[in-house]
Structure 1
């Protein structure tokens, strides 16, 4: 059975997304960069949250065997 927990590439993807999700890399102090009145760091967090959701969906869909997959194979 294929499990994503044993695939190191999946974990590397999660690590990269979680690093980018936390905007520690933005400079502290000074004037914040605003885009349509929203700070850039907030837009980065929103964008990376969407990327995380899509990545989780991808991992579940393509890297995880579920009982439904086995039921479909048995019917064929």
Structure 2
């Protein structure tokens, strides 16, 4: 049986800090009204930056799920599946 330590990422402050920074980047509150003029790939500047931060957030959350989460449920489900086959 694989002996992995259980990680509870909800208690790590750096995860929440990075998530807050990315969330602030997604919401274009910091742009002046004139920011709708420059276009990048057919999108207004504010929409392009919001889309980029959305993609960054998706990547960050996916990375967290793969690398930082190791909860008891996975082990319990595996043991339960073994018990059902016996």
What TM-score comes out, normalization by structure 2 length?
0.70
Q: Which has the larger radius of gyration?
A: 2
- 1:9-59, CA deviations, whole angstroms, 9 ceiling, x for partnerless residues? 100110010010101111124762112332011111111111000000111
Structure number with the bigger relative contact order (C-alpha 8 A, sep ≥ 6) is 1
Contact 2:35 2:44 in 1 (8 A): no
Aligned pairs, how many? 70
* Aligned equivalent of 1:4, options 9, 29, 44: 9
1:74 maps to which residue?
A: none
Unaligned runs of 5+ in 1: 72-76
What TM-score comes out, normalization by structure 1 length?
0.78
Runs of 4+ in 1 over 3 A off after TM superposition: none
